[in-house]
Chains A and B, each alone.
Chain A
Amino acid sequence: MSYFTQNSLLSFLGYPVSLQTFLPLSAPSLHFTMDWQGQKLAEQIMQIMLLVFAVTAFVAGYVLGSFQMMVLVYAGGVTLTGLITIPNWPFFNRHPLNWLDPSEAEKHPKPQVTVSSKKKGFKR
């Protein structure tokens, strides 16, 4: 499986993944990743902008008596929304989650799982 497909599958299943870990920090982000806060912001901006443009387009079309005006304003609005919310602009990456440094990880060892005694019968 390619890195892209594997990460898509993992993120679909709910695992946090970032392709940035596979690329050096200086490489351009070819995969348009955003951090979690950025993703939430992108979704909110997209929904609000589309609704606002829809209402504006309808009102403009109705007042001017032109169906074409409504469609044009809306199409312009969809394009603008796409340009703002789809590419990963810097303001979508203001709260990055970084992998823990290995030296830091050693200071906090994983809790040990204690072996419990065998249970005899079920509790009633």
Chain B
Amino acid sequence: MHSFGHRLNGLLTFSVTILAIMCAIASLSDNLNTPSPTAEIKIMNINWFQKQPQGNDEVSLTMNISADLQSLFTWNTKQLFIFVAAEYETPKNSLNQVSLWDAIIPAKEHAKFWIHTSNKYRFVDQGNNLRGKKFNLTLHWHVMPKTGKMFADKIVMAGYSFPEEYR
């Protein structure tokens, strides 16, 4: 500590090291949070359900997505990335997951919501397996932190199915 430069260097190095430790502890504190999210998705309408010229099935649907994800927010949360995916099984693939809609929730106040929307991304199958197919709709979320580990989880809602015929 014999000169101005030496003391300044010591201050900056030590303070930044301690800041890194504080951020690590802040991230660890996220594990203390026990979230209890809820979600519900209703399919309001199947807008159309066709076979494309290439041979793949495509469907357009309108959904009502409502959820309460406020308990996922902590002091260390920057934003929540959520998306809805349709999951089903085909002879070719044991699991197909198609992302239909996503959103970013920037604050706790916006985490309790409902939205009436058609699918943001096209729902196209690998093949023509969708007629009469049963599928799940899952709401996934990624809790993106201000610092540290990102947590991801989902809610699976089962019991949806496609019409037997194209329309």
Q: Are A43 and B1 in contact (CB under 8 A)?
A: yes
Stretch of B7-15, B51-59, B84-92 lying at the A interface: B7-15
Chain B residue contacts of A11, Cβ below 8 A: 2-3
Main secondary structure of the interface of B (DSSP, over half): helix
**B22 on interface, CB distance cutoff 8 Å:** yes
**Chain B hits for A78, CB < 8 A:** 11, 15
In chain A, what residue has the closest Cβ to B15? A78
Q: For the complex formed, measure the closest distance between the CB of A77 and the CB atoms of chain B, giving whole angstroms.
A: 9
- How many chain A residues have a CB neighbour from B under 8 Å? 31
Bound CA span A43–B146, Å: 32
Shortest Cβ distance from residue A34 to the other chain B in the assembled complex, whole angstroms: 7
Across the interface, B14 reaches (CB within 8 A) one of A34, A50, A58, namely A50
Query: Which residues does A use to contact B, with CB under 8 Å?
Result: 8, 11, 31-34, 39-40, 42-43, 46-47, 50-51, 54, 57-58, 61-62, 64-67, 70, 74, 78, 81-82, 85-87
Interface residues of B (CB under 8 A from A): 1-4, 7-8, 10-11, 14-15, 18-19, 21-22, 25-26, 29, 75-76, 146-147
What are 10 A-B contacts with C-beta separation under 8 Å?
A32-B3, A50-B14, A58-B22, A62-B26, A62-B75, A78-B15, A81-B11, A82-B8, A85-B7, A85-B11
